[in-house]
Amino acid sequence: MAQYGLLPQGFVLKRQADCLSDLLQAFLLQFGSDTDLGSDTYLGQVAGVFSERHALLWEALQDVVNSQNPNGAEGVFVDNILALAGLTRGVALPTRTNPSQSVQQNGLVLSGLVLYGTPGTSIDKGTLFKTQSLPTLSFTLDDPVTIQPAQNGLQTLVFSQVPTQGTYTLTLVCPSGSTQTTAPLSTYAQAQTTQLVWPVPPTQGTLVLNLAGKSTQTITAPFTALKIQAALQALPAYMAATVAPTPLGFAIAWPQNQSIPPVAFDKSSTANPLPAIYD
């Protein structure tokens, strides 16, 4: 019974070691059982050379078998298999960025491609962009783009230690080059806030906030500062917390003698999108 080749269970490859063993057995039958077939003998060398050639033929036969299998075919053989079913292979398409924004669970909005620059700058169709990652990828703009002024921009100030005194000012540079400076801001007052930020305020759904293991009552959209403040003040530990609206959501102000509690979403929250939280 055959051990190699096309068998009911599939193709079984004959390795070089098996080819060499068969050749040595054939030499013994032909020249006698006492024939020296060591690897350093003439016949041993001949068997080694021919066993390699036989193994290459077996590997070529394996390639032929695989070329008829959709799981093993490559190149033109894939086209040949598809042709049997009246199909053709799709043309390779370039990678495209997602034209639609996606909103993560934490409320952050991700865009497929974002261009930064001076508002009003025009970028022509066909402009090439190259990523800084390795390997680098190049993208071509399908349409002309004009950079627009930033909307709903959010900058986060992070303190290595919460300051207890002093003030600071922010200087903003306008696209025209002029600058604007804010009035002095209390560092400690700003550090004692938690921001709830929505890219798009939800019009339906509910929100439950977890604060150091304590959960607020369910807050129903549309959300307002009064609703959130009432839910917080219903918790005895946070009766002094106040909530004020901001352009992007709400700011929770904690008393100066109270450490800022970690704020997270309860698993029962259903608002879509959920806000991002910045302490």
Residue 277 — pLDDT band, cuts 50, 70, 90?
confident
Q: Which residue, 219, 213, 220, is CA-closest to 237?
A: 213
**Residue 234 predicted with pLDDT over 60:** yes
* Rounded average pLDDT over 151-180: 68
| Alpha carbon distances (Å) from 273 to 102, 104, 147, 200, 217 | 10, 8, 26, 7, 19
Helix/strand/coil (H, E, C) string of 30-87? Answer: HHCCCCCCCCCCHHHHHHHHHHHHHHHHHHHHHHHHHCCCCCCCCCHHHHHHHHHCCC
Percent of residues, the chain, with pLDDT higher than 70: 88
Helix, strand or coil for residue 18?
A: helix
Residue 267 DSSP code = T
119-140: average pLDDT: 85
Of 101, 96, 99, the C-alpha closest to 140 is: 96
Half-sphere exposure of 168 (CA within 13 A, CB side): 12
Please tell me the pTM assigned to this model: 0.37
| Residue 141 burial by Cβ neighbours in a 10 Å radius (0-12, 13-18, 19+) | middle
Question: 10 pairs with which residues across the strands?
Answer: 7
pLDDT at position 23:
93
Give residue 156's pLDDT. Answer: 63
Query: Does the pLDDT value for residue 94 go beyond 80?
Result: no
User: So where are the chain's domains?
Assistant: 5-84, 94-151, 184-278
